[in-house]
Amino acid sequence: MAGSLLAADSSPKDDVVGAAKKLGEKPNYSWNATTTVPEGSQFRPGPTEGKTEKEGFTHVKMSFGDNQTEAVLKGGKAVVTNQDGDWETVSDSDEGEGAARFRSRMIRNFKAPAVQAAELAGAVKELKKDGEALAGDLTEDGAKAQFRFGNVTGAKGSVKFWLKDGALAKYSVSVKGKVEFNGNERDVERTTTTEIKDVGTTKVTVPEAAKKKLG
C-alpha cells in the first residue's frame, strides 16, 4: 500500500527524472540528435550520433555543414578529431583558434542524454501532459544554461519528454535568446530533438588512435 501511495504522489517531473536515471543505469545505449534552426541562420548544426557504455567509452559523431567531428570520452578525459581527421586531446584543442576552440568547448560542455534529460527536467517550472509528451517551460536560468558560448540575454526555452513503459524514449528542447560573442550580438533560436535507441544492445567501437591518445 505504501508503494502504491508513493507512486500516486509522483509528479510528471519525478517520472522524467526517474526515467533518465534508469537510462543512465543501463549498460549501454545509443542516440540520434537533430537540430532545426530558422531559415537563413548562419550556424546550422547537422545531426549528432552517439553511443555510450556505463563507466566505459562514449563515442560521438557531430556534423556542422560539410565538416564532421568525432569525440571519445572516458573517465573525465576527452579526445577529438581536428580538421585533418587526427585525434588530439581537448586540452590541445583549447590552444587552437576558431573551429578548433569551438570543438573543444563543445566537448567540454557535452552531457550524455541521461544526464542532460535529468538536468532539463530539473530546470522546468512545471511539466504537464501534452498529447503523448510531457511538456513545460524552462526557467530563465535553465534556458540560459543551454547556450554554450557567449553572454546570453533574454533566454527563453521549453522542453518535451516522451516516455515509453516508464523509459525515456525521446526529448526535445527549444531555446532562443540574444548571444554576444567576440563583440558581435545575434539572435539564436533552435530546437534539438534527441531519440534514444538500442538500449542494452549498443556496441561502442572506439578507434585505436583515439584510445592511444586518451592514454
| Residue 18 scores a pLDDT above 50 | yes
Measured CA to CA in angstroms, residue 64 lies from 89, 139, 152, 208, 211 at distances of 20, 28, 22, 24, 24
Question: Is there a domain that residue 102 lies in?
Answer: yes
Residue 155's SS3 state is strand
Question: Is there a domain that residue 5 lies in?
Answer: no
Question: Residues 26-71: pLDDT tens digits?
Answer: 999 999 999 999 887 777 788 999 999 999 999 999 987 778 889 9
CA distance linking residue 172 with residue 23, whole number of Å: 16
Q: At what angle do helices 12-25 and 113-122 cross, to 10 degrees?
A: 160
| Residue 2 scores a pLDDT above 50 | no
Least confident of 20-24, 85-89, 157-161, 203-207: 85-89
C-beta separation of 93 from 78 below 8 A: no
Q: What percent of the chain has pLDDT over 90?
A: 63
Question: Residues 92-108: pLDDT tens digits?
Answer: 555 555 556 666 777 88
Locate 11 and state its grid cell: 509528479
Rounded to two decimals, the pTM is 0.87
Question: Residues 164-191: pLDDT tens digits?
Answer: 999 999 999 999 999 887 778 888 899 9
Q: What is the total count of domains within the chain?
A: 1
CATH number for the domain that contains residue 200: 2.50.20.20
Question: Is there a domain that residue 53 lies in?
Answer: yes
What is the reported pLDDT for 96?
Answer: 52
Domain extent for 179: 12-214
Report angle CA 82, 117, 154 to the nearest 5 degrees: 80
Ramachandran area for residue 90 (φ above 0: left; ψ -120 to 50: alpha; else beta):
alpha
